[in-house]
Amino acid sequence: MPFNLSRRGFIGSAAALSAVPAMARAASDPAAAPVPINPLVKQRADAQVFRHDDGYYYLTGSVPEYDRLVLRRSKTIAGLSTAKEAVLWRHEASGPRSGYIWAPELHQIDGKYYMYFAAGPAGGGDDVFRIRTYAIVCDGPDPMSGKWSVAGELQTPWDSFNLDSTSFVHKGVRYFAWAQREPGIETNSNLYIAKLEAPLKLGEKVTRLTVPTLDWEVRGYKVAEAPAVLHRNGRLFMTYSASATDARYCLGLLTADENADLLDAKSWTKSPQPVFVSNEQTSVYGPGHNSFTVDEQGRDILVYHGRDYKEIQGDPLLNPDRHTRVQRLYYTADGTPDFGVPVGNGPMPERFVSAASPQSLLAHDGLQLLGGNPALAQTQFRQLPGRAGKQSVMLSPILIPDHYLVAKKDGSVTLERDSKSADFALRSQFVRLQDKGSDLLRFAAISAPGKALGLADGQIRLVGSRDTTAYWRAD
């Protein structure tokens, strides 16, 4: 017979769950860091986030007005959304640093804080893109409250357009990587690397790492810019951004062995396809200019900017809506980063690995739920607040953000669009349970007491809430 859910019945279902012992109550450890919500910070492009050994996360990026250098910090990644922002420096009234200010990055070198940035002169016309790299330096140990002043201009091999500088230390040597237009090469910018002998002085050997030639690197403009370096699994991975800054913007990847000569271009291999691109299903366009950090648990996090709409009026560079976004970075079986797709707006999603069958994850293929290990994006689910009290949750796949897991009367579980009915409201509600002292989770179905999401014969369905197949690990 059909189930008619009244308001009283709904509340009663939720209340029944309050009888669950405290050691198995919903949600995660209250001391855990809050889940970041995307976009993390609106209208902050070219984002750099890093976790310093002082316990803070720092964030800087380009502001829409391109007129100042800013910095904010928080004890958590999520807290960066509302953290107070300090203005460290503003462009000058005249001269080479009076126009656009681009792509800042904060680094601590020899005990001092430096912020690299690119700038050009005011005045309009092509001259505003006479972009060169500069640095400001802080006079004290606290970059938020110290006094900042111009340290000078980075001296590169050519007096030509250059920007998007980053620095990293590998095997005790500090390197510098950046984008520049090299005379005689008809591109907008190529990638270069050198040792950094002093904050504004490169070593004698400068290496051109890559020139944009592939079809996905030259859409609109011939661009390789915004390098960012990650050292993992015996290799160095250098991401870079390519093509025009609209929806065609994307990430490419260079890879080198950790023991290779980083100043030898032959040490680096370019991936033939982009590793991170716009996605219609999640509504993120032009993902790029990334950095890397780790979350509060030490897991790798990809930081990047992207718009949540495709069509842009006017010059993309003057569009303000490139927002800072974050998401987990995963790895393939051979240790290569798996970037997946930009996950879209909302809480940062998770993956759920079956405790009974660790090779199987909660996944979907279109509207069909399954237990398996398909493409990364098919295993990422967003946990959203439910409608049956503060303990209830709804689970939604990032690729179909208007669909939710729904338990059916026969114990099967499907993905369905919200019908706004009372029946849907009940059957889409679960409670996330975690036993004290355990990292295992269960998702108890409010509509079926004693039942929870489980993996049975490769299918996702309701099983006994204490069945071994009802336990998952969040990843």
Would you please indicate which residues are annotated as catalytic (active-site) residues? Answer: 46, 225
Spatial distance between the Cα atoms of 460 and 468, rounded to a whole number of angstroms: 14
Peptide bond preceding 39: is omega within 30 degrees of 0, i.e. cis? Answer: yes
Spatial distance between the Cα atoms of 371 and 459, rounded to a whole number of angstroms: 6
| E strand or H helix at 11 | helix 7-17
| Cα dihedral 201, 205, 211, 217 sign | negative
CB distance 389 to 16 below 8 Å: no
411: left (phi over 0), alpha (psi -120 to 50) or beta: left
Q: Measuring CA to CA, which residue among 373, 305, 306, 307 is closest to residue 338?
A: 373
β-strand 132-138 against 148-153: which pairing, if any?
A: antiparallel
Q: Measuring CA to CA, which residue among 393, 394, 382, 375 is closest to residue 351?
A: 382
Residue 427 neighbours by CB distance under 10 Å: 24
Q: How far is CA 170 from CA 105, 205, 230, 240, 274, in A?
A: 18, 17, 10, 19, 25
